Amino acid sequence: MTQPGYAHHIPQVADELEQLILREIAMRVRNNEQPYVLDLRCGEGRHSVTMASLGARVLAVDDPKQEARVRDLAQASACAEHVEFAPFAEIPKEGLPEGPFDLVFSHHGICLMPYPKARQSLRRILKSLRVGGKLYLSAYGLHSALGEGYADAEAPIEERFSELAPAIAKSYNIKGPLCLYSERNLVTLLFEAGGSVLRSFTTTHGTIKAVAVRM
């Protein structure tokens, strides 16, 4: 039975990857657990609040300017006591000190750094998961609309990091260089970082998604 005070249903607006982590949270809550979740690059906190409303304890991490928005949204959704905020910083070598986490959710964050740095960061994130903990990861797709006119489209993944075509960047309001991924690239990244990939898929819009577990 769902614990009192928590949402009974997973919202239909959630995308495929969010649906997967919300189902995992709901299952754990039904088993009388309160999973500890890291929402990395949380933005305004929509994912964080949705996860907290299902019964998770969430650490939302992003630029300090997002803190007020995250806290306001958590307060409005009556789950402020289950959502904490931490400013984003370089992930320390020993892992994130607030862990260990049961689950990690990262929505496009790895695209904001070159592939070698993303691999290094994911190694540290995986170390901050409990053994058997899961990482839910998404990346902008090389073969999506974002890849049209992308300067590094033919570059090896280790060297791929450039700005989007100006018209595309303006249309999607994305600034700065990105590393775009194929599904194979993302699976390889997780393998090289020390994760065991449970599943991966490409959405109809070309976004890449994957779920990995810490062994």
pLDDT at 143: 95
Decide if 109 is inside a domain: yes
Decide if 135 is inside a domain: yes
pLDDT at 96: 62
Best CA proximity match to 48, nearest among 12, 16, 86: 86
Which three-class secondary structure state does DSSP give residue 107?
strand
Residue 95's pLDDT band (cuts 50, 70, 90): low
Decide if 177 is inside a domain: yes
Decide if 23 is inside a domain: no
Q: In what order do the strands lie in the sheet with 101-107?
A: 83-87, 57-62, 36-40, 101-107, 129-139, 208-214, 195-202
Across the range 89-101, mean pLDDT stands at 65
Across the range 182-203, mean pLDDT stands at 96
Decide if 54 is inside a domain: no
Decide if 182 is inside a domain: yes
Across the range 78-90, mean pLDDT stands at 86
37-46, 74-83, 84-93, 100-109: the lowest-pLDDT one: 84-93
Structural domain count of the chain? 1
* Domain of residue 149, residue span: 95-215
* DSSP secondary structure code for residue 176 in this structure: S
Residue 155 maps to which CATH number? 3.40.50.150
Indicate the residue type of 85: F
Q: How many residues does the chain have?
A: 215
Indicate the residue type of 167: A
The continuous run of DSSP H or E covering 209 comes out as strand 208-214
pLDDT at 1: 37
Decide if 42 is inside a domain: no
pLDDT at 90: 57
**What's phi and psi for 60, nearest 5 deg?**
-95, 125
CA neighbours within 13 Å on the CB side: how many for 40?
27
Decide if 136 is inside a domain: yes
